[in-house]
Amino acid sequence: MDIVAVSCQHCGASLKVPMGTVHLTCGQCGTPLLIQYQGQSIFTQRQDASEDSAANVQQQLHDLRTEVEIARLDAAWQAKRESLKVSYGRYGRGVPRQEFAVIPMVIFVIVAGLLFAKGNITFAVIVGLLGLLSMFVTTIAASNYQNERAKYEAKRQGLGGKDPLAKHRNDPRNGHYF
């Protein structure tokens, strides 16, 4: 059996070990060592350092997988959010809001009242019903948006990601958009 000479990585002591040995404790300082064979080179590494290194790599891999999952979730939410937006006429598309459900209803009620005053009862009823329908559609769209957003936020928090909407949520000018 061949004997090889290696040095302790911790204290530098010269150690003689049989070729093929993988684990060793330094006789000088008592440090547990791992013997590495790479081609013609043979060297030692502190065993606890290699274990820390492996744990560190595992943690980095876990963190990377989590980051990728959060990025995937964020991209899916952005696509879902775009699909849930509604048209606000000349103002463009936006997130449906509960408070906007009342606006069309008020407009339709005013128009229905004017029609009723002129004696157009049939048209007044039709316009009033359109107002109700508009209010219900807007309310349902806003509720659906809020539910989807809550699901997204819960999944993201479950992954340990920061709340991407926190800065907007605390701003009264922007809180209702998100």
22-77 tens-digit pLDDT? 888 888 888 888 888 887 888 888 877 655 667 777 888 888 888 899 899 999 99
80-137 confidence digits (pLDDT tens): 999 999 887 788 888 888 877 787 778 888 888 888 888 888 888 888 888 888 888 8
For the chain, give every domain's residue range. Answer: 3-50, 70-177
pLDDT digits (tens, 9 = 90+) for 136-171: 888 899 999 999 999 999 998 888 766 655 555 555
> CB–CB of 169/178 below 8 Å?
yes
What confidence tier does 176 reach under pLDDT thresholds 50, 70, 90?
very low
pLDDT for 49 equals: 60
- Residue pair 117/127 in contact by the 8 Å Cβ criterion: no
The DSSP call for residue 89 is G
Helix (H) or strand (E) holding 77: helix 47-84
What class does CATH assign to 3-50?
Answer: mainly beta
pLDDT at site 89: 77
Confirm if 146 and 165 have CB atoms less than 8 A apart: no
Q: 3-state class of 25 per DSSP?
A: strand
Mean pLDDT of the chain: 82
Per-residue confidence (pLDDT) for residue 163, from 0 to 100: 60
| DSSP H helical ranges for 85-120 | 102-117
Tell me, what amino acid is at 122? T
What pLDDT is attached to residue 178?
44
